[in-house]
Amino acid sequence: MASLDSKKIAAALLRKGFRVADSHHKFYWLYDGEKKTSVKTRISHGGKDYSDGLLAKMKTQLGLDTKAQLLELVECPLSREDYLALLLAKGRVIRD
């Protein structure tokens, strides 16, 4: 994977249940219903492409194992429900 557009990543995160907290950077926190989880990542305000190095960090922050999973999250083959199931199985999201 060469790069992904930051705006495309941001739009995909919002579709998957992330919410934005603006500061110097935009922090994206995953919500499970109304409950804020510990899963987060950040995207710089400057619109740019994210290269392999930044994508590798982002995939780890998002609880994914491979860049292919990150691409599936952004391109939408990985649904919100499947993503939450993956995070639940890993213990990254806990439901009461």
CA distance 78 to 15: 11
How do residues 77-89 score in pLDDT, each as one tens digit?
Answer: 999 999 999 999 9
Nearest to 28 by CA among 49, 15, 44, 13: 13
Q: How much is the pLDDT for 15?
A: 96
Two tokens at 87? 């995070």
Domains of the chain from N-terminus onward: 3-90 (3.30.920.30)
**Whole-prediction pTM:** 0.90
State the average pLDDT over residues 6-11: 94
Q: How much is the pLDDT for 2?
A: 65
How do residues 23-78 score in pLDDT, each as one tens digit?
Answer: 777 999 999 999 999 999 999 877 688 999 999 999 999 999 999 999 999 999 99
